[in-house]
């Protein structure tokens, strides 16, 4: 089981600190890899590695990551061994989308082969990366995140929840299919 925490803020540019605080509350959900992605100055910054949350957060200085939005993920491996490359979040091919998931994509292997055949750069053996490429597949055609997420989710089979962000937007999108998902809205 994994834990994901995402946030976007109109008032903060030190989102790494908030992401670490949120992820600390999820440490019972992930045991073998940790990752944080933030958007800062038009680029997605990604830091992730194998290990327990406290060790990785300290080693990679996750709390110091700048940005106004981001995603943190703690993973307990199902598809793909615990490793830095399989840690989430994951980039898409162009590194303009980034996302993380919890759950199982049961058609991961055929989708992986299909996406590689279409020219996608698949960097891991983790089914969470497939969620990002499923959205990318349609986003690159339409430029519309909501449409791309809807169409991408129709390709994914299984129970999952995932969060994804586009470096060009002030949003973090969240989707669920069977798995639990909680969302909150506050000032700013």
Q: What is the pLDDT of residues 104-146, one digit of tens each?
A: 899 999 999 999 999 999 999 989 999 999 999 999 999 999 9
Radius of gyration from C-alpha coordinates of the chain = 15
CB 87 within 8 A of CB 75: yes
3-state secondary structure the chain: CCEEEEEECCCCCEHHHHHHHHHHCCHHHCCCEEEEEEEECCEEEEEEEECCHHHHHHHCCHHHCCECEEEEEEECCCCCCCCCCCCCCEECCCCCEEEEEEEEECCHHHHHHHHHHCCCCCCCCCHHHHHHHHHHHHHHHHCCHHHHHHHHHHHCCEEEEEEEEECCCCCEEEEEEECCCCCCCCCC
pLDDT of residue 3: 80
Question: Is 118 a member of any domain?
Answer: yes
Question: Is 66 a member of any domain?
Answer: yes
**Model pTM score:** 0.91
pLDDT of residue 28: 63
Question: Is 7 a member of any domain?
Answer: yes
Q: How many domains does one find in the chain?
A: 1
* Best-predicted range by mean pLDDT (1-10, 14-23, 41-50, 72-81): 41-50
Percentage, residues of the chain above pLDDT 70: 94
Interhelix angle for 127-142 vs 145-155, to 10°?
130
Among residues 1, 179, 177, the alpha carbon closest in space to that of 74 is found at 1
Question: Is 187 a member of any domain?
Answer: no
pLDDT of residue 77: 67
Give the structural domain span for 40: 3-177
What phi and psi values does residue 5 have, to the nearest 5 degrees?
Answer: -135, 125
- Mean pLDDT for the chain overall: 90
pLDDT of residue 180: 75
Question: Is 31 a member of any domain?
Answer: yes
Question: Is 157 a member of any domain?
Answer: yes
Min mean pLDDT across 25-39, 54-68, 100-114, 150-164 is at 25-39
Question: Is 25 a member of any domain?
Answer: yes
Evaluate if residue 1 carries a pLDDT over 60: no
Question: Is 183 a member of any domain?
Answer: no
pLDDT of residue 178: 84
pLDDT of residue 186: 79
Min mean pLDDT across 9-13, 32-36, 69-73, 158-162 is at 9-13
């Amino acid at each position: 089981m994994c834990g994901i925490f995402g946030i976007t803020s109109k008032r903060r540019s030190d989102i790494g600190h908030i992401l670490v605080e949120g992820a600390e509350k999820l440490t019972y959900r992930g045991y073998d890899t940790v990752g944080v992605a933030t958007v800062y100055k038009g680029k997605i910054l990604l830091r992730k590695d194998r290990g327990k949350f406290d060790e990785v957060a300290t080693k990679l200085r996750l709390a110091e990551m700048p940005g106004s939005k981001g995603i943190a993920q703690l993973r307990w491996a199902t598809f793909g061994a615990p490793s830095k490359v399989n840690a989430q979040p994951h980039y898409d091919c162009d590194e303009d989308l980034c996302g993380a998931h919890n759950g199982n994509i049961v058609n991961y292997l055929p989708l992986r082969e299909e996406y590689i055949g279409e020219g996608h750069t698949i960097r891991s053996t983790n089914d969470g990366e497939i969620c990002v490429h499923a959205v990318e597949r349609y986003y690159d055609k339409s430029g519309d995140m909501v449409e791309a997420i809807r169409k991408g989710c129709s390709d994914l089979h299984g129970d999952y929840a995932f969060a994804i962000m586009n470096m060009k937007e002030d949003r973090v999108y969240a989707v669920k299919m069977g798995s639990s998902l909680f969302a909150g809205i506050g000032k700013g």
